[in-house]
Chain A
């Protein structure tokens, strides 16, 4: 699309301004924010205690130690927290934009709809999940038996890939809202379900689910394989460990596909008007 000649603020500049304004709005009620962030921290921490007590009781499960599982857990939660922080506009898209008709209002602004929805809110609340995930990730690295310290450099890359993948899920969910705003809870299977599934090693799942979280939703590519790589843990299914250094790119590819789907959905909306 053509740029308007009067544009003075770049897209990243505008994003910073919109994100800043959303932070001002969220901090207008600081008490609410603090309680929500703490609640977010505690609920996610509790779910880790469930896993921890399992390992505490049995030592290791199917050849997996608590350290490895903690790294997986930390990785997927940190990635999801980042996506939740950035992708709030997509998460609430059905209820706040489609149902109310205010998506039309968004189309009246001379900017890309993706940028405007990213700027809907930079959500602070997931900071609870983010910090808790980092904490568990660090603990996992400390507990795991064969950490390759140089190989752990892959972890920030894996987090970025994971955040991109979850953001892709949220964008895909928003694109589906053009078809139906009912029953989209089913997409939570990919978000919250993805977080749950990502916390466990791939071999714990049956073949069908394993394929799904490898080839459809590239969850294994952004969590499982990078974890194996950084912990120097051979894959029981004999996939070479070095895959984990490259595989987080799949998260970005998934995001790219979802962005294309979004653009098609918006074009469809503009031509059908519903």
Chain B
């Protein structure tokens, strides 16, 4: 999506580079070697956008997230989040962002959700009225009523994630960083999280940076996806563009009540699977549009049903990583 000039940037990153020094063989006196985690990445996220930040494991995502969160100092490069440099001014910076790490809790295991939120109020210095307002709003939107007085250790994963999201937003951050927010959640919980994030962005203009391995999160939420691999940005575009450029082909599935007949296909289409009563054809809509293909094969004897589908988002991203050896 093109950025309108009226939207100023919430996050700007330029030439960001991070190398880790590791010790070979793990011994104290062993040789050291530098590993490049981020090899000069640049991007910016306008205020109020939901940007997906994806890449295979080890691509540099977590490093970038840590730098943006102010808990890691880069080797070189510039970052501004809300106009602040995260690592030079950690306390002021983290007061204005919210972060959810899907695999770690930021609440207190032995305290109730309600007690934990009250402690966060004091840690962030949220005024009592604003806290009461936010708490009521989040409890309503995330359906926390029943779990408010339960201790965090008793919550299911889905309940805990809703509480985590509330905890990350109790101080009204302008920017929310979600690191794997739906990992391990059941389908209804995933949908609830997605719906909430969507509303948050729409109603409050919160900027969201989302990392996930669940491509449905991206499809449902992200206006734009930044794909990172080997410490570099491989793509930065709306998801539809990624689909068009990576795997634009469509799939036509045909069901027969008998053995499928042999058929001649027009250019741009080819048979990819043949089973006892079905046939799968893959075609490129730029060479042969779907209506033309259907017209071409529509009068086959014994044809019961036909379906056209697009490759799943997981297939697209797998192909994308493969194409870029990521």
Task: Name A residues whose Cβ lies closer than 8 Å to a Cβ of B.
Answer: 1-4, 6-9, 13-14, 17-18, 21, 24-25, 28, 100-102, 104-105, 107-112, 116, 270-274
B70 contacts across to A, CB distance below 8 A = 107-108
Contact A1 B94 (CB under 8 A): no
Given A4-B125, A105-B106, A24–B115 Cβ distance below 8 Å? yes
B125 and A9 within 8 A (CB) = yes
* B288 interface contact, C-beta 8 A: no
Query: B213 CB to closest chain A CB, in angstroms?
Result: 18
In the complex, are the beta carbons of B20 and A14 less than 8 A apart?
A: no
Asked if B126 and A105 make an inter-chain contact with CB atoms under 8 angstroms apart, the answer reads no
Does B123 lie within 8 Å of A111, measured CB to CB?
A: yes
Most-contacted residue by chain A among B87, B95, B97, B127 (CB, 10 A): B95
Q: Please, which residues of chain A bring their CB within 8 A of the CB of B171?
A: 6
Are B91 and A3 interface neighbours, CB within 8 A? yes
Residues of B within 8 A of A25 (CB): 108, 110-111
Which of B72, B87, B99, B115 has the largest number of chain A CB atoms within 10 A? B72
Query: Is the CB–CB distance between B21 and A14 below 8 Å?
Result: no
- What 0/1 readout, one digit per residue, does chain B (164-191) give for beta carbons within 8 Å of chain A? 0000000100000000000000000000
Q: 1/0 per residue B203-243: CB within 8 Å of A?
A: 00000000000000000000000000000000000000000
- The answer to whether the Cβ of B294 comes within 8 Å of any Cβ in the partner chain is no
Chain B interface extent, by class: 35 or more
- Which of B21, B89, B92 lies in contact with A272, CB distance below 8 A? B21
Q: Are B115 and A21 in contact (CB under 8 A)?
A: yes
Shortest CB-to-CB span from A271 to chain B, Å, is: 4
Chain A residues whose C-beta falls within 8 Å of the C-beta of B21 in the assembled complex: 272
A270 touches B91 (CB 8 A): no
B120 — nearest CB in chain A belongs to which residue? A109
Q: In the assembled complex, which residues on chain B have CB atoms less than 8 Å from the CB atom of A116? A: 123
Residue from A6, A13, A17 in contact with B95 in the complex, judged by beta carbons closer than 8 Å: A6
Contacting B89 at CB < 8 Å: which of A1, A21, A109?
A1
Q: Which residues of B contact A271 (CB under 8 A)?
A: 72-73
Q: Indicate if the CB atoms of A6 and B119 lie closer than 8 Å.
A: no
Q: Are B119 and A18 in contact (CB under 8 A)?
A: yes
Q: Is chain A's binding surface mostly helix, strand, loop or mixed?
A: loop
Q: Are A272 and B99 neighbours in the complex by a CB distance under 8 Å? A: no
Q: Which residues of B sit under 8 angstroms from A7, Cβ to Cβ?
A: 95, 125
6 A-B residue pairs with Cβ-Cβ distance under 8 Å, sorted by A, are A4-B95, A6-B124, A105-B101, A111-B123, A272-B21, A273-B66
Specify which of B63, B95, B101, B106 is in contact with A110 (CB 8 Å cutoff): B95
Smallest CB gap from B177: residue in A? A108
Contact B71–A108 (Cβ < 8 Å): yes
Q: Which residue of A lies closest to B125 (CB)?
A: A7
**Min C-beta distance of A272 to chain B, whole Å:** 7
Decide if B95 touches A270 in the complex (CB within 8 Å). Answer: no
Interface contact A1-B72, CB-CB below 8 Å:
no
Contact across chains for A274 and B20 when beta carbons are under 8 A apart:
yes
Q: Does B49 contact A (CB under 8 A)?
A: no
Mark out the residues of chain B between 113 and 141 whose CB falls within 8 Å of any chain A CB in the assembled complex: 115, 119, 122-127
B69 within 8 A of A: yes
A14 vs B119: C-alpha distance in the bound complex, in angstroms? Answer: 8
Interface check B307, CB cutoff 8 A: no
Bound CA span A14–B125, Å: 9
Judged by a CB distance under 8 angstroms, whether B90 is at the interface is yes
Find chain A residues with CB under 8 A from B123 CB. 14, 109-111, 116
6 tightest A-B contacts by CB?
Answer: A25-B110, A7-B125, A110-B95, A4-B95, A107-B71, A271-B73
Contact with A along B18-46 (1 / 0, CB 8 A): 10110000000000000000000000000
Q: Taking A4-B125, A24-B111, A108-B94 as contacts, is the C-beta distance between A270 and B119 under 8 angstroms?
A: no
B94 A2 Cβ-Cβ under 8 A:
no
- List, in ascending order, chain A residues with CB within 8 A of B20's CB: 272-274
Question: Counting CB contacts under 8 A, is B286 at the interface?
Answer: no
What's the nearest-Cβ distance from chain A to residue B101, in Å? 7
Contact B99 A108, beta carbon cutoff 8 Å: yes
Q: Are A8 and B127 touching (Cβ within 8 A)? A: yes
Known: A14-B123, A108-B70. 12 other contacts (CB 8 A): A1-B90, A2-B92, A4-B125, A6-B95, A21-B119, A28-B151, A104-B66, A104-B101, A110-B123, A111-B123, A271-B72, A273-B20
